[in-house]
Amino acid sequence: MNCLDRFFAFNRRLSSKLETRLPDAFKHHLHTLYKYQVAAIINRRPGQLVLDVGGGKECPFLQFVDQPQTHIIVALDCSEQQVRQNHQLALRIVGDAALSGFPLRDGSFDLVVSRSVVEHISNNSAYFKNCARALRPGGSMVHAFPGRFAPFALLNQVLPNRLVRRLIGYFLPEWVEEGNYGFVAFYNRCYYTAIRDLIRDNRLTNVRFVFTYYQALYFTSFFPLYCLMVSFDLTAWRLGIRNLASGILVMAERERDRAAPAAATVRGNDILPVSEVAG
């Protein structure tokens, strides 16, 4: 280990000690909240048809689903390479969820979810429209994504993607091991008021937001900067400045059709894949 590595390791230890003193509610991780929330919705009743957008490689909420065999869970991803690595699901589709020609039939799904997808889509107006159209009456959507105006997101928007990947690889090696980092991010409308308007435009109801603010963990390798970021995050959290949230979890429902039954039975022909990847 050279001098620079020792310097950063020392700073990470200092940051870790300070982190233990931060409020637990402040440190809630967006991805953890997402997994439990999605699983809770699926566990409400058996026989649901679920669309996991960006579901390449893994289905993070699956381990918390009580009876996964009673549901049909479909992974949709624009990357065939990523989809082929997902061995948890039998039904995997290659397609772009933000195209006007959405590869799945309208009104098919009980639940549409995504984790860290929204920030990578250049046209979220089209994406949320497609997600809303894919829902059955009474169906739900859950999306988790970083906020556009968080300091790390602002850096990601101004720095070249190649440099971002190198920095993440050096300072956050655990992300490299996961092999799921450094994708080009647009952060199109990735802030509270813009997402709120998209939800309203698509006439979704029962809208709920959860916000996280702790993004200083990206800067643990340099303790003075970490302290500065913690101060920023705590201030935004205490004041409840939603547009400065570092993470957003949004949940909404398609208005229920009064003429339709409350719960539908899963039918395999409810989905219409454009391109399916075999195991």
Number of domains present in the structure of the chain: 1
Question: Does a structural domain hold residue 141?
Answer: yes
> How far apart (Å, rounded) are the C-alpha atoms in residues 17 and 12?
9
What pLDDT, on a 0 to 100 scale, did the predictor assign at position 270? 38
> What tokens appear for 128 in the block?
């949320």
* pLDDT exceeds 90 at position 271: no
Q: Regarding beta strands 109-115 and 135-146, do their DSSP bridges make them parallel or antiparallel, or are they unpaired?
A: parallel
Q: Residue 117 sits in which domain range?
A: 3-145+192-212+248-270
Alpha-carbon torsion 84, 89, 93, 94, what sign?
negative
Tally Cβ neighbours within 10 Å of residue 177: 9
pLDDT in tens, 56-73: 888 999 999 999 999 999
Contact assessment for residue 89 and residue 56, using Cβ atoms and an 8 Å cutoff? no
Contact assessment for residue 181 and residue 172, using Cβ atoms and an 8 Å cutoff? yes
* pLDDT exceeds 60 at position 261: no
DSSP 3-state of 205 = strand
Q: How sure is the predictor about 84, in pLDDT bands with cuts at 50, 70 and 90?
A: confident
What pLDDT, on a 0 to 100 scale, did the predictor assign at position 272? 37
Q: How sure is the predictor about 48, in pLDDT bands with cuts at 50, 70 and 90?
A: very high
Average pLDDT over residues 110-123: 97
Question: Does a structural domain hold residue 265?
Answer: yes
What pLDDT, on a 0 to 100 scale, did the predictor assign at position 159? 86
Q: How sure is the predictor about 120, in pLDDT bands with cuts at 50, 70 and 90?
A: very high
* pLDDT exceeds 50 at position 274: no
**Contacts for 26 with CB less than 8 Å, ≥ 6 apart:** 213, 214, 233, 234, 237
Question: Does a structural domain hold residue 153?
Answer: no
Average pLDDT over residues 96-103: 83
> What tokens appear for 2 in the block?
């050279």
Question: Does a structural domain hold residue 15?
Answer: yes
DSSP 3-state of 87 = coil
Question: Does a structural domain hold residue 256?
Answer: yes
Global pTM reads 0.88
Least confident of 114-128, 165-179, 236-250: 165-179
Question: Does a structural domain hold residue 199?
Answer: yes
The mean predicted confidence, pLDDT, of the chain is 88
pLDDT in tens, 149-197: 999 999 999 888 788 777 777 777 666 555 556 678 999 999 999 999 9
CATH number at residue 120: 3.40.50.150
**Structure-token match 């802030």, residue found:** 191
Q: How sure is the predictor about 77, in pLDDT bands with cuts at 50, 70 and 90?
A: very high
User: In terms of residues, how long is the chain?
Assistant: 279
Question: Does a structural domain hold residue 176?
Answer: no
* pLDDT exceeds 90 at position 219: yes
Q: How sure is the predictor about 102, in pLDDT bands with cuts at 50, 70 and 90?
A: confident
Question: Does a structural domain hold residue 207?
Answer: yes
Half-sphere exposure of 131 (CA within 13 A, CB side): 33
